[in-house]
Structure 1
Amino acid sequence: MSELRVVEICAGAGGQSLGLHLAKFEHSLAVEIDETAAKTLSTNGRRLGWDMRVAVGDVAAVPEPGEQFDGERHVWNPDDYVGIDLLAGGVPCPPFSIAGKQLGTSDERDLFAWAVELVGRMKPRAVMLENVRGLSMPRFAAYRQWVKDRLSKLGYWSDWKLLEARDYGVPQLRPRFILVALHDEEDARHFNWPKKTPYAGGVGDALYDLMNTHRWPGADAWRRKANQGIAPTIVGGSKKHGGADLGPTRAKRAWAELGVDAMGIANDAPNPKEHGLDHIPKLTIDMVKVLQGWLDDGDYAWNFEGRKTSQYRQIGNAFPPPVARAVGGAIRAALMRDGSPKDLAEAEAEAMQHEPIYVALKAADGPLSAKQLIKAAGGNIHPSEFEQRLGLLSRDFHIKTDGEDEDRTYMLGAFKGFVGQGDHDRHLAFATARNRIS
């Protein structure tokens, strides 16, 4: 097998790392800001004999192009990895999360746009970035289009896809929105999203052996109840919020229907001395691992560093290894040009539609009125909807306006996101709240 190398940013505790390793990628570097998660990744990497360096710190703390690396100010140097086979990462989710405020570019943790600029600097053969389902929603339609436009300008074909973990052997819903980009057109023609390999069974089947560790008499009844569905999306949370529990109110209700107490994480499985038939158990760290795709076989064995809350956060924020393995395998097949090539124009026509007001503004030679913009956007947008779309657009882009009422005109200004600017607001946030950012 030809060796393919990967640099992984925002690597976390290693869910994506393990999946990519199993897809036959070898890590040259992994970068992670959380020290405990980085220790988890390093420890497991050494155990498995990986030839990998793990850099700990802010992934965006890099020298300017051509600047000499300074170990006191910089965490790593992208220029050392120009031409790498794959640039991968799970950049922070809170800027796009439905459970959060969906601040997008206003959130100091937003690194998606910065990662796209990193592509232009490192010139990898392929790119894989994953995030939460929220990024696929209308709120971020213009943001997504900006990403595709920027990658196209850098010479990359790209595509987005919403994948659910349960479709790739994981007993959990967990939708993830994934961007894949390829530099060589022939590689792109050979890329196909991985075929589904759905998990067969429910939560009860997945966790029965662990739940019955101490021969709890309620285990069989619990298994039947828990087999009514797969797990809701596990929420790891951030350092800004609380300890280990299984998510917001809606998620807790879903867990209750499966016979799980979602108000915390247990230290051990139920036992006959303390728990009767009617006990509603909490999950343990080992159970959460299984639901996140660290299954009980040799390929996916993984140990976590830190205390219980830290371990839960590491697991809950991870990209399930089987899903990363599936997507990584599809990328490897494209780079090796396995299979029959596809028509890129046809594939692009089937791609997700984006924000028509943004497209119209971007194509305009000068300022346009609301009526002109609506017409340029296809003419099917009601004036009230126009204002709503423009409001969403203005969260991530500067919109230049002139005039009043019907005479008001609009022009598309600069993208507000962090792409490496030395004077961006994120630097102040990191300087004042470094230990709360995750």
Structure 2
Amino acid sequence: MGVSLSGFESLAVVEWDKWACDTIRENQKRGYPLLQNWPLWEGDVRNFDWSSIADGIDLLAGGPPCQPFSMGGKHKAYGDKRDMFPSTVELVSKLKPKSFIIENVKGLTRSSFANYYQYILLQLEFPEVNRRQHETWLDHLRRLQREKTSGVLHRRALTYNVVPTLVNAADYGVPQKRERVFIVGFRSDMGIEWSFPRPTHSYDALLYSQWVTGEYWEKHRVPKSKRPEVPEKLEKRIKKLSRTLLHIEDSAWRTVRDALMDVPDPRKRAAKEFHNHNFQDGAKIYKGHTGSLLDLPAKTLKAGNHGVPGGENMMVMDDGNVRYFSVRESARLQTFPDGYVFHGSWTETMRQLGNAVPVALARCVSASVAERLAEAGIHKLSHSKGRKVA
């Protein structure tokens, strides 16, 4: 959805999960415009007929399954049959896109995966240097390293300039502290210079609006008598912000309260006006399972319902009690539009949301890529016609 909002037209949308596909088909039947013309194919990406897609497409975007690298998973990485990075590299080699955007979990960057992470980046940089029969991935890594330092690989036909970045979605206006790795690449022959978009939102700006100006509480009509005390651990930081009278250019991090300010409690009658906004009973607090506070971005939504380890799918209400986020509230935290309806049971819809890339963040990254591709296209056109374009 993010890349569609950035102006890209999808030639293939490949998804193996039945429920995610059902959600797309349901919205297409309802006439939801953004994905009306998506050519959806349900199944394993390795079985799709990629010969139907011409070489040199503008963008290949996707997220290989994160479970092999997730902090909550089995941490098998290259030993996990769900590791789809080899297939990702194969697709880059086959389609030769002008650019690619790959998203994955922060766990990919942990020290225990350092060599495999480097291996992934080198394969994406030189996708035509295939792993030989009976060659281990470590031997392939060493060969890539040797050939890269020798300069031989840079003379190959297909190479990419690859930029990996660890990103917190909250820094880009998503009401959720969600750290993810984005690996963005541009085909070397494009001559494109690119860096990850600058953050637009900050924690300091939120603290300033809450504890220095009070603007945050006034916006939400929280009377002074009901405003919380300044957290003791933040007193020095807030005093510093207050003393310097710092002009903060960034917008404030968006909080759970910000995201849900116009959404009624799912237990109220007015909740029926919102799709997928049903109350789910059974939320409980226990050690390590505490839920998301109203006045901070939410914890990272995870692909589960009740059993997620940190209570990430619960919210702590003003009175201190907790309840589960409804599907619609979870969608708000992932910046999905209200008109997009989710299909499936509570478990399946929460899995779709936990696995999703926040729409606003995907749009931000893909729009930046689209801008560079457009500039490169204009530059190429101007030179081919022997004149300059302003």
TM-score by length of 2: 0.64
Does residue 285 (structure 1) correspond to residue 327 (structure 2)? The answer is: yes
8 Å Cα contact 1:128-1:179 kept in structure 2: yes
The superposition leaves residues 27-48 of structure 1 with CA deviations (integer Å, 9 ceiling, x where unpaired) of: 1111111112112123435521
In the other structure, the counterpart of 1:196 is: 199
Unaligned runs of 5+ in 2: 128-158, 202-251, 271-291, 380-390
How has the CA–CA distance of structure 1 residues 215 and 36 changed in structure 2, closer, same or farther, with 3 Å as cutoff? Answer: closer
Q: What is the CA distance between 1:25 and its match in structure 2?
A: 0.7
Of 226, 235, 258 in structure 1, the residue corresponding to residue 302 of structure 2 is 235
Does residue 208 (structure 1) correspond to residue 261 (structure 2)? The answer is: yes
Q: What is the CA distance between 1:215 and its match in structure 2?
A: 8.2
How has the CA–CA distance of structure 1 residues 280 and 320 changed in structure 2, closer, same or farther, with 3 Å as cutoff? Answer: same
Q: What is the CA distance between 1:279 and its match in structure 2?
A: 4.7
The superposition leaves residues 253-304 of structure 1 with CA deviations (integer Å, 9 ceiling, x where unpaired) of: x777x516xxxxxxxxxxxxxxx967533211111111111155xxxx3111
In the other structure, the counterpart of 1:76 is: 49
Q: What is the CA distance between 1:99 and its match in structure 2?
A: 1.0
Of 108, 130, 154 in structure 2, the residue corresponding to residue 135 of structure 1 is 108
Q: Tell me the distance in 2 between the aligned counterparts of 1:332 and 1:278.
A: 45
3-state SS, counterpart of residue 148 of structure 1:
helix
Q: What is the CA distance between 1:60 and its match in structure 2?
A: 1.3
How has the CA–CA distance of structure 1 residues 307 and 187 changed in structure 2, closer, same or farther, with 3 Å as cutoff? Answer: farther
8 Å Cα contact 2:70-2:107 kept in structure 1: yes
8 Å Cα contact 2:306-2:313 kept in structure 1: no
1:259-408 correspondence to structure 2 within 5 Å: 259=316, 279-296=321-338, 301-337=339-375
In the other structure, the counterpart of 1:159 is: 163
Q: Tell me the distance in 2 between the aligned counterparts of 1:170 and 1:128.
A: 19
In the other structure, the counterpart of 1:411 is: none
TM-score by length of 1: 0.57
Does residue 47 (structure 1) correspond to residue 32 (structure 2)? The answer is: yes
Q: Tell me the distance in 1 between the aligned counterparts of 2:27 and 2:316.
A: 33
Q: Tell me the distance in 2 between the aligned counterparts of 1:278 and 1:118.
A: 49
Number of equivalences: 272
CA RMSD of aligned residues (A): 2.7
The superposition leaves residues 50-82 of structure 1 with CA deviations (integer Å, 9 ceiling, x where unpaired) of: 432111111112xxxxxxxxxxxxx33256332
The share of aligned pairs that are identical, in percent, is 32
Of 82, 95, 110 in structure 1, the residue corresponding to residue 68 of structure 2 is 95
Q: Tell me the distance in 2 between the aligned counterparts of 1:150 and 1:277.
A: 52
Q: What is the CA distance between 1:187 and its match in structure 2?
A: 4.4
8 Å Cα contact 1:20-1:325 kept in structure 2: yes
8 Å Cα contact 2:302-2:313 kept in structure 1: no
How has the CA–CA distance of structure 1 residues 115 and 282 changed in structure 2, closer, same or farther, with 3 Å as cutoff? Answer: same
In the other structure, the counterpart of 1:147 is: 120
